[in-house]
Structure 1
Amino acid sequence: MKITDVKTYNLRYPLVEPFANSRGWTNARTAVVVEIRTDAGITGWGEGVSVPSASAVEAHLIGQSPFETERIWEAMRGDIGALSGIDIALWDIMGKALDMPIYQLLGGAFQLKIPAYASGLFKKDKPDITQALMDEAKGYVEAGFPAVKMKIGFGEAYDVENVAAVRRAIGDDTLFAVDANCGYDVGTAIDVGQKLLDYDLFWYEEPITSDDVAGYREIRHALKVRIAGGEMLKGRWAFRDLLQERGLDIVQPDLSIAGGFTECRKIAAMASANYVRVLPHMWGGSIRLAATLHWQATLPDAPQALNPIPSLLEFDMTENRLRTALAQQPIKCR
């Protein structure tokens, strides 16, 4: 089997209601979809975050076997954001050719049911943002989600007031994570984090920029809460020091950013060797969601105990028809 054609689709969905994280406002959702065709009539689909160059596609994909994922990965690693979508599509082809789900190609599923957390609670242009956040959070709990994640990083006053309000809305039994999207420096992250400890946080995500290894270690040692991050890192090298220096309790590679299945398997192995739990990041379209489910099913609990840290799937609850309408049968939580 040989690759005969590669097409990319740079998709954009304008939001009806914009929302913000600590870095800025989002007015549209985007996805780079990759379609790879073969001479066997099998087509693979992937989702990345950038468009591969025509020269790279011609040199390293056309005429090649889709089963040679390692060799193709090394040849194209100059643009990991584009390579991520290509790699996912190659694994899709292999699964279809062998009539096997990707989780089996990756070694088998440790779990066929994965608890999901509702990922939302962004800042919006509302007359009463606190009440809006409380209503949204309460809706997630009523829908059955065992955990929710909220956006912070907007300043101490906003963060403390609204984290307290959301905790009241969801009650004491719901797991509660917060995500600052790299919005703070080390000192501010520690100061705000200490004020948020009263609200029983399950983890504190990306308080500072992803590559500040020393800063993450400082925050982790200063706060009695799990520190998570790594969603924007690309390739195993970007994760190496953060894992080996134990800057994180939970690492969150994104399949469509970090390098697809081929690379994320290596990142997960490196995390395991350093006793760091892997809970993948997922904030994209329907292809990325399906791929993430397959990969996450293959990740064992860590530590392997009767009551490990639960394997929580990030289920994006924001408006995004690239996730809810692009697939003929969109993935839904039950």
Structure 2
Amino acid sequence: MVEIESVETYPLYVPLQEPYGDANGYKSYRSCYLFRIRTRSGVEGWGECADWLPLLEKGFQERIIPFLIGKKSTDRLQLVAAVQKWHPRAAAGVSMALTEIAAKQAGLSVCDLWGGARRKEVPVYASFQSYTDRPDWMHHSRKRVEQALIDGFSRVKVKIGGKPFREDWEHIAALREMAGDQAQLAVDANQSYDTATALRWNRMFAEEDAWLWFEEPIPMDHVSEYRILRSRCLIPVAGGENIEEPKAFLPLLQNGGIDLLQPDPTHVGGIDALRDTLQLARHFGLRASPHTFDGALSRLYALFAQSCLSEWSKMEGENIEPVEWDAMENPFTDLFPLRPVKGTVSLPTGAGIGVEPDPERLKAYRWDGMSGP
């Protein structure tokens, strides 16, 4: 009884107490789109996708759900490929739900379905959207990062590229002084610079070695410029969160333009494509750290994938890269009972994903179809 019997959708929305953002603009709300696929035998799997809620709900109700009903859940690759032609991000969610169903039908965890986890714990880094409308935004950002250090994070990512260069410089210098040797710092410019401006940061990078990486300093389609940047930048160059399929990373890889790949499970075409991209990084001898700022379930799948990934080096304590952990105001972070302890997440081991979403939060934050987005 592997045929799909029903698909229940859970569009979730909550306004923020205070807008925050990066070089691309400010967020005034957070949203999440979860859905549950159930087979005729009662086996269930959860999926998640990111996009404008009205578009997703209309697409699921009018096209995706009618297409899925009656199909075999075991035809995961075919179903995901079909949905991807209509909506790639919805297809990513469908791949999650059908992967969990396959694991449960086999009586396995997702990691065991993939061949077994290499590690029971995966490191994470605290990811911040640094900008607010406050005149004292730098002080506010510093307090947030300081709290993350108190909470046990030893890796932190903050934003640059949305303020004048000198203002961003002052902000990062203050964070670097405050963090000291407690934490490694990554800076994310959201493709804001040209190569010359990006390289101005080398003066700060040269002062110490407590840096993680320089994320998307210039537009990702400037492949030749990335090769120049990587050859001159004093810390690793990272990027790729919006790249939509594994082969689209190849120009950067073949031209030596990047040190660390950052595929996003909700953007890259599904869980199988995410794992293909992570393995592609390993084939080129490179690092990979999944981008997972939006989505508690997609982050969990990224943690599973990272737990199954081979080591990138032989350096003890540095042989597996961290996964992004949204440290901003976001009630959806707690949809699934998973929290980092001292910057590390212990993975659930039960059948499927091993956890269920909080039904009270699903009810409390359900989008009414009218407000918000």
CA deviation digits over 1:108-143, x for unaligned, max 9?
A: 111111222111151122332222222222221122
State whether structure 2 residue 190 is matched by structure 1 residue 181.
Answer: yes
Shift of 1:290: 2.0
Choose the corresponding residue for 1:67, options 65, 70, 74.
Answer: 74
Report Cα offsets for 1:292-330 as digits up to 9, x if no partner. 221121112202444545421211110111222x34xx3
* SS of equivalent residue, structure 2 residue 63: helix
Residue of 124, 136, 151 corresponding to 1:143: 151
Aligned amino acid, residue 316 of structure 1 = D
Distance 1:310 1:194, change over 3 A: farther
- Asked whether the equivalents of residues 47 and 288 of structure 1 are also in contact (C-alpha less than 8 Å), the reply is yes
Partner of 2:63: 55
Give the corresponding residue for 2:338. Answer: 331
Percent identical among aligned pairs is 32
Partner of 1:278: 288
The 1-side partners of 2:121 and 2:148 are apart by: 19
Given that 1:253 and 1:264 are in contact with CA atoms closer than 8 Å, whether structure 2 keeps it comes out as yes
1:74 aligned partner, one-letter code:
A
Q: Work out whether residues 261 and 287 of structure 2, in 8 Å CA contact, stay in contact via their aligned partners in 1.
A: yes
The equivalent residue for 2:356 is none
On the 8 A contact 1:121/1:136 being kept in 2, the answer is: no
- Check if 1:109 corresponds to 2:110: no
**What SS class does the counterpart of residue 77 from structure 1 fall into?**
helix
What is the match of residue 249 of structure 1? Answer: 259
- Aligned equivalents of 2:204 and 2:152: distance in 1? 28
Q: Normalising to structure 1: TM-score of the pair?
A: 0.91
Change (3 A) 1:213 1:194: farther
Cα deviation 1:226-256 (Å, max 9, x = unaligned): 0111111111232222222222111111112
Cα gap change, 1:196 to 1:224, in 2 (>3 Å) = closer
Question: What's the C-alpha RMSD, in Å, of the aligned pairs?
Answer: 2.0
Do 2:6 and 2:39's aligned partners in 1 also have CA atoms closer than 8 Å? yes
How far apart in 2 are the matches of 1:90 and 1:320?
26
Q: Does residue 242 of structure 2 align to residue 232 of structure 1?
A: yes
Shift in alpha-carbon separation, 1:309–1:193, aligned structure 2, 3 A = farther
Secondary structure (helix, strand or coil) at the match of 2:5 reads: strand
1:196-215 correspondence to structure 2 within 5 Å: 196-198=205-207, 200=209, 201-215=211-225
Task: Name whichever of 187-196 and 135-144 sits farther off.
Answer: 187-196
**Secondary structure of the equivalent of 1:210?**
coil
Change (3 A) 1:157 1:199: farther
Q: Larger deviation: 88-97 or 73-82?
A: 73-82
**Matched pairs, number:** 330
By relative contact order (CA 8 Å, sep 6+), the higher-ranking structure is 2
TM-score (norm 2): 0.82
> Relative to structure 2, which stretch is displaced further, 306-315 or 85-94?
306-315
2:42 counterpart residue number: 41
Q: Any runs of at least 4 consecutive aligned residues in structure 1 with deviations exceeding 6 A, and if so which?
A: none
Q: Is the 8 A contact 1:95 1:105 kept in 2?
A: yes
Structure 2 unaligned residues grouped into runs of 5+? 342-373
In 1, Cα distance between equivalents of 2:101 and 2:332: 22
Does residue 4 (structure 1) correspond to residue 5 (structure 2)? The answer is yes
Counterpart amino acid of residue 262 in structure 1: D
Q: Secondary structure at the match of 2:121?
A: coil
- 1:77 pairs with one of 69, 72, 84: 84
CA distance in 2, matches of 1:40, 1:219: 54
Offset of 1:56 from its aligned partner? Answer: 4.9
